[in-house]
A and B are shown apart, each in its own frame.
Chain A
Amino acid sequence: MGNKKMTKTMWKPTGLALAAIAATAAVALAVPSAMAQRDPAYAAARAAGQIGEQVDGYLGFATTPTPAIRALVQDLNIKRKAAYTASAQSTGSTVEQFAFTSGCNLIAQTKPGEKYQTPGGAWKTRDGSPPERDARCP
């Protein structure tokens, strides 16, 4: 009797968990179209050269940011670190190695007018010519 009751109580939370996973999956499937769009404030700060791509794969401030921009960048950097960490694990590399490789690509992808960090650490505005990148960048 006791055993039966145990099994029953054990199943209940599992069912709930499955429902929760299903609900999360449904949300995750529905959200990306909206999520994929950049925050307009972020896009504006990027275009204005207030924030830029650092050598290490994270965003940095080329000029002193407003509290809102600072919070936005910190949030993006936390998300980037989580993404780098997951990729580092799946590729057998360190977070720093993966973040640096991403930084090479992110600097290469900057558009004219946007800021990026040179290997020397200075902020530079991207123009028509290729950006100054670390010698190890592919």
Chain B
Amino acid sequence: MKIPKTGARRLAIGDRCVAVTMGAAALAGCVQIDTPDKPIEINLNINIRQEVVYRLDGDAKKLIEQNSEIF
């Protein structure tokens, strides 16, 4: 009578071990973070048209001239 009980308990412990291992594996999976290996690039082609650049050129030159300490 006692032998099967012990067997059942061993089985239960075995199951729990499996559950813990799976939980740990799942956690390890969650912690992994892949960092981007390339720098983030901002695409400047959007919304900057040549005609706008030409229109702003004079004001940009003035700004640079008048704030030489930051350029």
B-binding residues in A (CB < 8 A): 35-38, 55-56, 76, 79-80, 83-84, 87, 90-91, 93-94, 96-98, 100-102, 104-106, 109, 121, 134-138
Q: Mask for B33-71, Cβ within 8 A of A = 1, else 0?
A: 000000001101001111011111101110110011111
Question: Is B69's CB under 8 angstroms from A101's CB?
Answer: no
Q: In the complex, what distance in Å separates the CA atom of A100 from the CA atom of B57?
A: 10
Interface of chain A: mostly helix, strand, loop or mixed: helix
**A97 contacts which of B42, B53, B64 (Cβ < 8 Å)?**
B53
Beyond the given A36-B69, A101-B60, A121-B41, please list 11 additional residue pairs across the A-B interface where CB-CB is below 8 A.
A38-B69, A56-B44, A87-B63, A90-B59, A96-B47, A97-B48, A98-B60, A100-B44, A104-B57, A105-B64, A135-B50
B35 to chain A, nearest CB (A): 17
A-binding residues in B (CB < 8 A): 41-42, 44, 47-50, 52-57, 59-61, 63-64, 67-71
Residues of A within 8 A of B69 (CB): 35-38
